[in-house]
Structure 1
């Protein structure tokens, strides 16, 4: 039997043809959408990369511009890194090795005092205590008598600055810029008429760190000192106190008091500042400041937080305020232009310490 081939039987079913056509169309649409979408995404990504590159270039350009503009005038031709942003008060030779042992531990705190030759013995006792505690000592000579200190065995270890008839605040503004004293953890800015028989700098700093005091002062021995402000008097049974209490008369002070002289306050006689506090206080000092009158009331702004907690008086390490007339003395013990001191124990008096009481500056200051 012979089977004849029927061409019509080789053609697919019309339903199958319709299905395959639909499938092809759908696949074409999917592929088209994929390629079109991919091209769009690639274009957008490329545009974003371009924008990021432009922003990065602009930022770098601004940084380079600022970096160039912030260079000290005249240092543009110097190699990068030769100009330092900060410095310190260490004495170094122009050539050769440093006079100090490079392996020795650097001093972490600074004592700065405005001194006159008449208080040489008192200052000698102060400086010996601080040098034995690894302090850097800086003396501001307001009488110009630098050479008369050369016979002291520590004289070469101290930094001497001489400008006639200026107060410690005038000196501090010009010679204790925060960038210069940035390596020191604490700055002691003291008067020269202080007795330190019952004071140990290392123990004092240990207490200050433990109590979190950004601004502080050692308490005054009430039996031997000229005490102008009750908050500065020593409380024997305490290690530290931060406020003064007065429940009778005017100017009362209680637990709710948060302003000087009840709380958050130290006298300008022997203040101690942390590095952060000093960076703030330095900017508060006027360029032409002679006395520190009124500055003590404003120190709370530099307490790095709550002044009633971060400002205090250390009782366990105390000093004696001798109340000696210093800057402005003439004709022996006669003080010119000196205002009358406040009554002892007057809580409303905000007078400066004895070394800041007079204004008898020379018209022309001489720097040696």
Structure 2
């Protein structure tokens, strides 16, 4: 946000901060969001809240509420908001874009230290590691390692997982999950163009992020271990877990988590088909990961 009065050249004028946190929020997760936003504001970050439940006024009792940007649209997803309100030209002031979910705990995360590591390691796309003891984990590469600041690969351990020493593609190498990605300015410009206007869940996008890494994804995409988070995995869209819906019970689509899952899978198929068509139609396209993808998919 900019000051209403005065000139940008006056003494004491502060330029916009160089990192942006954008996060979808619902009033039910107010406590968690408060912890996250407080940490980022203390690090002089700009914060934008996407209110998917339409409730804005009930956040006004928090001290920082008037210092963040509030955007509201009922029942929309993080990627819907990002496509419409985080155009690369609009957020070009920021060196890094944190596009996070709301169900994250940040007791062991510090934005300034995180960015110091990202800059030192040359990570264009990254995410904080997950505390495996408390987090919902979908891919082993996101789990925190006890040694070092960063890891970029995951190897099969003790018979678990599906990644081996010769694995070169996601989610074994150069890959982050979509709950807490962090993008450099140039990487975000690329990713934003990949996000489809009519696909709201962005399934399949995580496997293509490496093309936005500004070079070798195995070097420029990584997971930061020393600054880590807890991913609680709270479902915020749909309302019901499909595993808990009694057989034969009819529920409105707005309240049915199963319907959310079905649309997500459908969007994955659409996204992949569009990618394949774009590749086929572009005579100038060179797939730097083609051989690696064949190996990984084989």
- TM-score tier (shorter): 0.7 to 0.9
Distance 1:101 1:196, change over 3 A: farther
Secondary structure of the structure 1 residue equivalent to 2:210: helix
Structure 1's unaligned 5+ residue stretches are 1-89, 341-355, 361-368
Secondary structure of the structure 2 residue equivalent to 1:138: strand
Q: Which residue of 1 aligns with 2:249?
A: none
Q: Which residue of 1 aligns with 2:275?
A: none
**Aligned equivalents of 2:50 and 2:83: distance in 1?**
12
Q: Which residue of 1 aligns with 2:109?
A: 199
TM-fit CA distance, 1:235: 0.5
1:293 aligns with 2:203: yes
Distance 1:311 1:182, change over 3 A: same
**Aligned equivalents of 1:119 and 1:318: distance in 2?**
20
TM-fit CA distance, 1:358: 8.1
1:266 to 173, 176, 186: 176
Map Cα deviations across residues 303-356 of structure 1 (whole Å, 9 max, x no partner).
Answer: 00000110000000000011112122269x98943259xxxxxxxxxxxxxxx8
**Aligned equivalents of 2:132 and 2:206: distance in 1?**
21
1:180 aligns with 2:90: yes
Matched residue count: 253
**Aligned equivalents of 2:143 and 2:258: distance in 1?**
23
2:137 to 223, 227, 235: 227
Q: Which residue of 2 aligns with 1:97?
A: 6
Q: Please say if residues 328 and 359 of structure 1, whose CA atoms lie closer than 8 Å, have aligned partners that are also in contact.
A: no
1:338 aligns with 2:286: no
TM-fit CA distance, 1:103: 2.6
Distance 1:102 1:167, change over 3 A: farther
Map Cα deviations across residues 50-83 of structure 1 (whole Å, 9 max, x no partner).
Answer: xxxxxxxxxxxxxxxxxxxxxxxxxxxxxxxxxx
Q: Please say if residues 143 and 164 of structure 1, whose CA atoms lie closer than 8 Å, have aligned partners that are also in contact.
A: yes
Distance 1:252 1:326, change over 3 A: closer
2:49 to 139, 145, 159: 139
Q: Which residue of 2 aligns with 1:62?
A: none
**Aligned equivalents of 1:153 and 1:358: distance in 2?**
40
Secondary structure of the structure 2 residue equivalent to 1:297: helix
Distance 1:329 1:98, change over 3 A: farther
Distance 1:288 1:101, change over 3 A: farther
**Aligned equivalents of 2:81 and 2:262: distance in 1?**
16
1:153 aligns with 2:63: yes
Q: Please say if residues 113 and 168 of structure 1, whose CA atoms lie closer than 8 Å, have aligned partners that are also in contact.
A: yes
TM-fit CA distance, 1:102: 4.7
**Aligned equivalents of 1:101 and 1:127: distance in 2?**
28
TM-fit CA distance, 1:130: 0.1
Distance 1:130 1:203, change over 3 A: same
Distance 1:144 1:101, change over 3 A: farther
Distance 1:330 1:147, change over 3 A: farther
Q: Which residue of 1 aligns with 2:77?
A: 167
**Aligned equivalents of 1:235 and 1:213: distance in 2?**
17
TM-fit CA distance, 1:256: 2.8
Structure 2's unaligned 5+ residue stretches are 246-253, 265-298
TM-fit CA distance, 1:257: 1.9
Aligned-CA RMSD value: 2.7
**Aligned equivalents of 2:22 and 2:190: distance in 1?**
18
TM-score (norm 1): 0.64
Q: Which residue of 1 aligns with 2:21?
A: 111
Distance 1:98 1:234, change over 3 A: farther
TM-score (norm 2): 0.79
TM-fit CA distance, 1:92: 4.3
